[in-house]
Structure 1
Amino acid sequence: MKKTLLLISLPLFSLSCIAEETTQDMSDPLAVYTQAGFGITDKGINLKVGQTYDTGNADTAAMNIIELKGIGGELLNLRNLDDYPSVDDSIDSFRFRNFSANMKNGSGHQIDMSYDVETETLSSSYSIIQTLPKMGIFSFFPLAGAGVTIQNDQTGANGYSIPGTFALVGMYAKAQLTDKIWINYNPMYMSALSGSDNYKESAYGNGNSDILTHEFAISYQINPRSNIRYFANWNEYTDISKGDHRIEYNYQF
């Protein structure tokens, strides 16, 4: 049985039903726009909503995005539940991101918070992103940051604590194949920085103090306001066949 979700106080978050006149490039990792998304995954249904807000700086655009993941996984039954006993019909995790981009110099920063309901673990990080000059069909957006892990002692003895901190470096990469089709590959490397001996030795399970994760996506822009995307997520310890796979529809308001 999964535990109660950790609640995070967010700024006022309402989705405007009126479409903005100017659309943003939805293939750009630094694009900021009000949006909604719906995904079918092999672990359940994902829901996403994002809204821009005024930063008070004409050169900077920002948005909040919140996602609920893994709804109805047992009902959909797209996984072999004998191999994945954690898949059920409740929410697997939720994610909150606050993202800001500078339109003049192509830099950005984000706060990224993900809470795993099953393990009652919150991973929160801050990172900076920079756009590099485009090279033909390729665009690269390296990032670097640091984060903290907050976890509940499921024995009930100590409650929530901070087992440790971590560093992350990575990149968003894009290949624009046609006007409507593009591919992304987003590798991320995370490594334990400090904390308990157990965290420094096994922050990512089975004696692994670091991890390299992979995300691959291929996308098709249906029209200026909507696209459909296929994602695959895996890491160096999990084969792609046992990773996470999803098809996602996104709409820009």
Structure 2
Amino acid sequence: MLMATPLAYAERHNNLGTEAVQDMSDPLAVYTQVGLGYTDKGLNLKLGQTFDTGSDSTMGMNVLELKGAFGDALGVRDYADDSIDSLRLRRFGVDLTNGRGSQVDFNYNFNTEAGSLSYSLIQALPAFGALQLYPLAGVGAAFANNALNDSGDTLSGYTVPGTFAVVGTYGKLELTDNIWLNYNPMFMKTLSGSDNYKNHAFADGDNILNHEFAASYQINPKFNIRYFAQWNEQLSYKDGTHIIEFNYQL
């Protein structure tokens, strides 16, 4: 069994005062990046920028994702349009001494005018040969414009209908130095809020198990191509989201 000790972890991730190339297969890697994805709902754009945390033992990164552009022209789903349908903004940090990450995650859907804000912790566990797991746990709050209350009436303006918890893991299986697979299941459960939110927030229920699979090839140390599939128990693999993504480390 390979052990991910704090010293080894820091050596893999340390870019303090350097321009060291980071391991792009590592879910906790921090680096400035750009990405472009072609999906069944249009184009996705990803921009990531590192920032100074003020500490030699930590690193930080902001990542902005804009999703679903030109969906009618380039996508294959009948309901897609050409405007950006959603965005995701993450503020991510990692402690180099213990392999623990933290993440503030903001999501917003322009079509439904609803989103969420959550905070989670991620921990790198010792690797078992080619397999490594990164468990995650967090809590968050949902918000929406013109949401329905328990009586079925529309609430004018933005409100916070409830809160939720998320528990899951990022899983990485390294096949070769350049090829790896990921499986990232995430279980979400409502915690509090209106009865309408608690009972119907996730695919018309109070909980959901989301699945994400990815197959990746590292073309060179700074450039890779990745295939993603995202689905859940209410949405089949075939009807889920499928993405071909190109990522470059700056």
Q: Establish whether TM, by shorter chain, passes 0.5.
A: yes
SS at structure 2 position matched to 1:75? helix
> Is contact 2:123–2:136 with CA below 8 Å preserved after alignment?
yes
Distance in 1 (CA, whole Å) between partners of 2:154 and 2:208 is: 28
Return the letter of the residue paired with 1:162: V
Q: Where in structure 1 are there 5+ consecutive unaligned residues?
A: 1-19
- For residues 105-127 of structure 1, the C-alpha deviation after alignment (integer angstroms, 9 at most, x for no partner) is 00010001110111101111100
Q: Which residue of 2 aligns with 1:229?
A: 226
Distance in 2 (CA, whole Å) between partners of 1:198 and 1:228 is: 41
Distance in 1 (CA, whole Å) between partners of 2:30 and 2:43 is: 24
User: Which segment is superposed worse, 236-245 or 149-158?
Assistant: 149-158
Q: By how many angstroms is 1:214 displaced?
A: 0.3
The correspondence of residues 57-136 of structure 1 with structure 2, limited to 5 A, is 57-79=55-77, 81=78, 85=79, 87-136=80-129
Q: By how many angstroms is 1:77 displaced?
A: 3.8
- For residues 180-206 of structure 1, the C-alpha deviation after alignment (integer angstroms, 9 at most, x for no partner) is 000000000000000001001111133
Q: Which residue of 1 aligns with 2:15?
A: none
Distance in 1 (CA, whole Å) between partners of 2:137 and 2:75 is: 37
SS at structure 2 position matched to 1:231? strand
Distance in 2 (CA, whole Å) between partners of 1:28 and 1:101 is: 12
SS at structure 1 position matched to 2:196? helix
- Judged with a 3 Å threshold, the aligned counterparts in structure 2 of structure 1 residues 77 and 141 are, in CA distance, closer, same or farther, namely closer
Q: Which residue of 1 aligns with 2:211?
A: 214
> Is contact 2:162–2:192 with CA below 8 Å preserved after alignment?
yes
The correspondence of residues 179-218 of structure 1 with structure 2, limited to 5 A, is 179-206=177-204, 208-218=205-215
Q: Where in structure 2 are there 5+ consecutive unaligned residues?
A: 1-17, 148-152
Q: Which residue of 2 aligns with 1:250?
A: 247
Q: By how many angstroms is 1:157 displaced?
A: 4.9
Q: By how many angstroms is 1:96 displaced?
A: 0.0
Return the letter of the residue paired with 1:122: G
Return the letter of the residue paired with 1:219: S
Return the letter of the residue paired with 1:239: S
- For residues 207-232 of structure 1, the C-alpha deviation after alignment (integer angstroms, 9 at most, x for no partner) is x1000000000000000001000000
Q: By how many angstroms is 1:252 displaced?
A: 0.3
Return the letter of the residue paired with 2:94: A
- For residues 135-173 of structure 1, the C-alpha deviation after alignment (integer angstroms, 9 at most, x for no partner) is 000000001000000000069751100000000100000
SS at structure 1 position matched to 2:238? helix
Distance in 2 (CA, whole Å) between partners of 1:137 and 1:161 is: 45
- For residues 68-100 of structure 1, the C-alpha deviation after alignment (integer angstroms, 9 at most, x for no partner) is 000000011422x1xxx2x10001100000000
SS at structure 2 position matched to 1:191? strand
Identify which of 155, 163, 166 aligns with 2:164. 166
* TM-score (ref. length: structure 1): 0.88
- Judged with a 3 Å threshold, the aligned counterparts in structure 2 of structure 1 residues 52 and 77 are, in CA distance, closer, same or farther, namely closer
Q: By how many angstroms is 1:21 displaced?
A: 3.0
Distance in 1 (CA, whole Å) between partners of 2:19 and 2:55 is: 20
Distance in 2 (CA, whole Å) between partners of 1:157 and 1:134 is: 49
Percent same amino acid among aligned pairs? 57
**2:140 corresponds to 1:140:** no
Return the letter of the residue paired with 2:40: D
Cα-Cα RMSD: 1.2
Return the letter of the residue paired with 1:174: K
Identify which of 10, 32, 35 aligns with 1:34. 32
